Amino acid sequence: GENVEQHPSTLSVQEGDSAVIKCTYSDSASNYFPWYKQELGKRPQLIIDIRSNVGEKKDQRIAVTLNKTAKHFSLHITETQPEDSAVYFCAAWGTTSGTYKYIFGTGTRLKVLA
Amino acid sequence: EAQVTQNPRYLITVTGKKLTVTCSQNMNHEYMSWYRQDPGLGLRQIYYSMNVEVTDKGDVPEGYKVSRKEKRNFPLILESPSPNQTSLYFCASGRAASGANVLTFGAGSRLTVL
């Protein structure tokens, strides 16, 4: 079945450094790729997303890149801060195949060390 | 305030005792779905609904039922709960019509089955 693989499962960086999280999806019909952040004890919340007709999108310190040919997409966080510490989930969703499953990766726990 | 409300937030029950977790959204979203979150496994989709009276299985539907009789409500039913259904459950809704589908999550329901 369809799945989304996410790596790494844990990531520790020094404050001010960059962090990169990578995901690979299997369903070529997927055309929407969001990223959610879940702080400890809270619900997931969208931080950035990208559609399949776009290769890159930026929002201040975060950016997402998409390689449709390779079925890869990545989250880039620059100048990391302690409040970036959380679990990050990538996801894939699409409407072209007739199913509407919203598939999440297994998550990356990011720790930003002060 | 735009929100997804799920109840109960915490529940301890025993094997075999039917229970329902309610979910309601006030954003007129077409898409509603249920997820369970377990350590190391990320967010796994149980069921989703694209509109009233339209439901479909996610990746882990066994042991669960749902219904979508009204656009705003999407209850999750456990007919005969078992200990392996002990988990943190999230309901989410989104406006799927535009091709993007940003999910708004409820606060989560922590279920323990003894």
Q: Region B70-88: what's the mean pLDDT?
A: 97
From chain A residues 70-109, the ones with a CB under 8 A of any chain B CB are 89, 91, 93, 95, 99-107
What was the pLDDT predicted at B72? 97
Answer whether A78's CB lies under 8 Å from A14's CB.
no
Contact A100 B50 (CB under 8 A): yes
Residue of B nearest to A87 (CA): B42
pLDDT band at A61 (very low <50, low <70, confident <90, very high): very high
Q: Region A81-110: what's the mean pLDDT?
A: 90
Token pair 């988990």: residue: B87
pLDDT band at A40 (very low <50, low <70, confident <90, very high): very high
Rounded CA separation B70/A42 (Å): 27
pLDDT band at A109 (very low <50, low <70, confident <90, very high): very high
Indicate if the pLDDT at residue B87 is higher than 80.
Answer: yes
Q: Are strands B54-57 and B65-66 parallel, antiparallel or unpaired?
A: unpaired
Question: Which of B92, B90, B94, B88 is CA-nearest to residue B112?
Answer: B88
Rounded CA separation B50/B43 (Å): 19
pLDDT in tens, B36-67: 999 989 999 999 999 999 999 999 999 999 99
pLDDT in tens, B101-110: 899 999 999 9
Answer whether B99's CB lies under 8 Å from B79's CB.
no
Indicate if the pLDDT at residue B99 is higher than 80.
Answer: no
Opening angle at CA B102, ends A31 and B60, nearest 5: 75
Backbone φ and ψ for A70, nearest 5 degrees, come out as -90, -10
CB within 8 A of B98, min separation 6: which ones? none
Rounded CA separation A5/A104 (Å): 8
- Of all residues in chain B, what percent carry a pLDDT higher than 90? 91
Indicate if the pLDDT at residue A1 is higher than 80.
Answer: no
Q: Region B18-29: what's the mean pLDDT?
A: 97
Indicate if the pLDDT at residue A19 is higher than 90.
Answer: yes
Contact B99 A49 (CB under 8 A): no
Question: Which of A69, A74, A68 is CA-nearest to residue A105?
Answer: A74
Q: What's the farthest any 2 CA atoms get from each other in chain A?
A: 46
Query: Residue A75 to residues A22, A28, A113: CA-CA distances in angstroms?
Result: 7, 20, 19
pLDDT band at B93 (very low <50, low <70, confident <90, very high): very high
User: How is A37-64 classified by DSSP, letter by letter?
Assistant: EE-TTS--EEEEEEETT-SEEEETTEEE
What was the pLDDT predicted at A54? 87
Residues of B with CB under 8 A from a CB of A: 31, 33, 35, 40-45, 48, 50, 56, 58-59, 90, 96, 99-103, 105-108
What was the pLDDT predicted at B62? 97
Q: How far is CA A62 from the centre of its chain?
A: 10
What was the pLDDT predicted at B41? 92
pLDDT band at A96 (very low <50, low <70, confident <90, very high): low
Rounded CA separation B20/A71 (Å): 38
What was the pLDDT predicted at A97? 64
